[in-house]
Amino acid sequence: MSWFESLILGLVQGLTEFLPISSSAHLRLTAAFAGWQDPGAAFTAITQIGTEAAVLIYFRKDIARILSAWFRSLTDKAMRRDHDAQMGWLVIVGSIPIGVLGLTLKDQIEGPFRDLRLTATMLIVMGIVLGVADRMAARDETGGKHRVVRERKSLRDLSVKDGLIFGMCQAMALIPGVSRSGATISGGLLMGYTREAAARYSFLLAIPAVLASGVFELREAGEGHVSWGPTVFATVVAFAVGYAVIAWFMKFITTKSFMPFVWYRIALGILLFVLVGAGVLSPHAGESGG
C-alpha cells in the first residue's frame, strides 16, 4: 500500500464513518473506482479503531460519567435508578442485535451483501427512510398549518424496548449502503426522539460494536502482512478527520435537517445503478478492497 492510498482511505474513513451516508459503501466505491488492491482486514480494523477513538475523546465526559455510574450500580441498588447507570445498560442492550447478527451472517456480509446493486438499493431506500423521518421530526418541532408543536423524546425517555429497536437499526448497517448512523438516527426520529438525542445515542451505541469488530478482525488478520507505516498514518488521518466531523455534525443537526444527506444518498445510488447497468462497473468491483 502506498502512502497516497493510505491518505485517501484514511480521509474516506474519517469523513464518512459518522455521517448518515455509509462509510462501508464509500470505502468499497473508493476501491472500485481506483482499482486498488485489498488493504487487508488489519488495515480496516485499525482505521476503524482510529475513528472510534475520536468518539471516545469527543464524548469522554459522557462516557466517564456513564461508566462510573454503571459500575457503581453493580453493587449499589439505589444507583440503578440513576440515568447514567441506565444508559450503560441500554448501550449494552442495544449492542446485542449487531453482535448476534454480525456473527451469524458473517458469510453473507463478506459475500452476497457486497454486491454493488444491493449497495445502491440500500443507499436509495435508507435515504428515503431518513428523509421521511427527518420531515416527521421537522413537523413536530415547528408545527404548521392545523398542527401544534409536539415535544420530542430525549435520552431520559429511552427504554429497553427503544434501545433494542435502536440496536436492530444499527444491525442493518451490516449491509453496505445502509449506514450505521443513518439507520440508528432514522430509527430514533421515527420513534419520536430529537435529532440530537438520536445522534448521541447512535454514537455511543457504536462504541462497543466497532471496538469489538476491530479486535475480532485484528485477531483474524493476525497472521497477515500489514504495512504498518501507511496503516498508522491512515489511522491518524481517520482519527483527526473523524473528530472534526463529529464536532461539526453535532452542531449541524441542532439547526439543520438531514435532507442534504438524503439527496446525496439517492443521487449516489442512482449513479451506481447507471454505472453497473452500463457495464462501467462490475457488481463485484473492488470486492476485496475495503
**Nearest alpha-carbon partner for 246 in 7, 44, 60:** 60
Q: Mean pLDDT throughout 171-180?
A: 90
Predicted local distance difference test score (pLDDT) of residue 290: 36
Of residues 285 and 258, the one with the higher pLDDT is: 258
Which of the four pLDDT bands, split at 50, 70 and 90, describes residue 283?
confident
Amino acid in position 88: G
Report for 35-39, 44-48, 172-176: range of highest mean pLDDT: 172-176
Q: Which residues contact 230 (CB under 8 A, 6 or more apart)?
A: 1, 2, 3, 5, 6
Predicted local distance difference test score (pLDDT) of residue 42: 63
| Vertex 164 angle, CA 128 and 114, to 5° | 50
Q: Which of 36-40, 51-55, 151-155, 172-176 has the lowest mean pLDDT?
A: 36-40
Stated pTM of the model: 0.88
Q: Mean pLDDT throughout 39-52?
A: 75
Tens of pLDDT, residues 241-257: 999 999 999 999 888 88
**Quick check: helix, strand or coil at residue 150?**
coil
State how far the Cα of 277 lies from the Cα of 275, in Å rounded to an integer: 5
